[in-house]
Amino acid sequence: MSKEDMIAYFNKLEAQSKALKEEVLRLCWYMRGGLSYDDGMILSQSEREIISKIVKDNLETAKKSGMPFF
């Protein structure tokens, strides 16, 4: 593996790490303390996807019903 390949690989890992942190922090914010950062970080990808879908569904329901979400 060349130096350039290693740099590209580590840059990709860094971007994935940042995306994971952003996703977990967003879930923590939506959950209003119901999910801690530490707990969010140990969720599997499929668990995070399920929670994200639930949040999205609830946001759509709130928009349609006119009920406050935030």
Would the pLDDT of 35 be above 90? yes
Helix boundaries (H) for the chain? 3-31, 37-41, 45-65
Would the pLDDT of 65 be above 70? yes
Of residues 34, 63, 64, 28, the one with CA closest to residue 48: 28
Confidence of residue 34 (pLDDT cuts 50, 70, 90): very high
List all residues 6 or more positions away from 50 whose beta carbon is below 8 Å from its beta carbon.
none
Which pTM does this prediction carry? 0.80
Q: Which two tokens stand for residue 58?
A: 């609830």
In the block, tokens 């119901």 appear at: 34
Q: Where are the domains of the chain?
A: 3-65
Confidence of residue 70 (pLDDT cuts 50, 70, 90): low
Share of the chain above pLDDT 90, in %: 76
Measured distance CA(62)–CA(58) in Å, rounded:
6
